[in-house]
Amino acid sequence: MLSTISRSLLRPFVARAMVSSIRKGDSIDFYHDLDVQMPRSFEDAEGDGFAWTDFKNLVKDKTVAVFALPGVTGTCNKEHVPSWRDNAEALKAAGVDEVLCVSVNDACTVDAWASYVDPEGELTFVADPSLKFTEAMGMKLDLSKNGLGVKSSRYSMLIENGDVTELFVEKGLDMDISSAENMLKHLKCGKARAAREALQTPFGIYMANIE
């Protein structure tokens, strides 16, 4: 029999295992097998033994905006990537350290694609060739009827020191709430809310009264 203390310690992990997809408020640390591939040429990949990278290391101790897309589709090329690429500087000004783009393709394909859609290197691209990351997030999207196979849902999230503080998941192949513009709007709202809350602290009230 588990003691009351043991049950309370295990509850977050049991609850996490019962949830089919990531949620706002989750910690990336609760997820396992988040290996991804960094984009590179086949020669470079062969040279490093096709090494995998733990996604957790990409977001550790940072504020990172992540957006994932089905693949190299018209909407991905013409709308989704440009939304984040063109707002990269604004996002960094709002406190984001890095912007990651996750695509279900092999590292070599993503390497070539990234040079096409983001020639200035504003974004960091991540390849998920085996769907390890996408499956762990509960974001698989079956597009077999479209001839695209199993890909990723279109979504975006903000990860702050390992915690998911914002999450926007699209319906089907739509591109609306997972845009950089929507993330910026929520970042600005969050800053404004934090400023208002700071004014309600004893120190904030004191400073307001002496100005």
Q: Which two tokens stand for residue 197?
A: 């809350």
Q: Which two tokens stand for residue 33?
A: 């097998």
Cα separation of 111 and 126, whole Å? 9
Q: What is the pTM of this model?
A: 0.81
pLDDT higher than 70, residue 143: yes
Confidence (pLDDT) at 147: 85
Residues recognised as catalytic: 76
Spatial CA neighbour of 45 closest among 54, 33, 57, 53: 53
Q: Which two tokens stand for residue 196?
A: 């208002």
Spatial CA neighbour of 45 closest among 103, 108, 104: 108
Digit-coded pLDDT (tens) for 78-104: 999 999 999 999 999 999 999 999 999
Of 12-16, 118-122, 137-141, minimum mean pLDDT range: 12-16
Confidence (pLDDT) at 201: 54
Confidence (pLDDT) at 20: 61
Confidence (pLDDT) at 174: 87
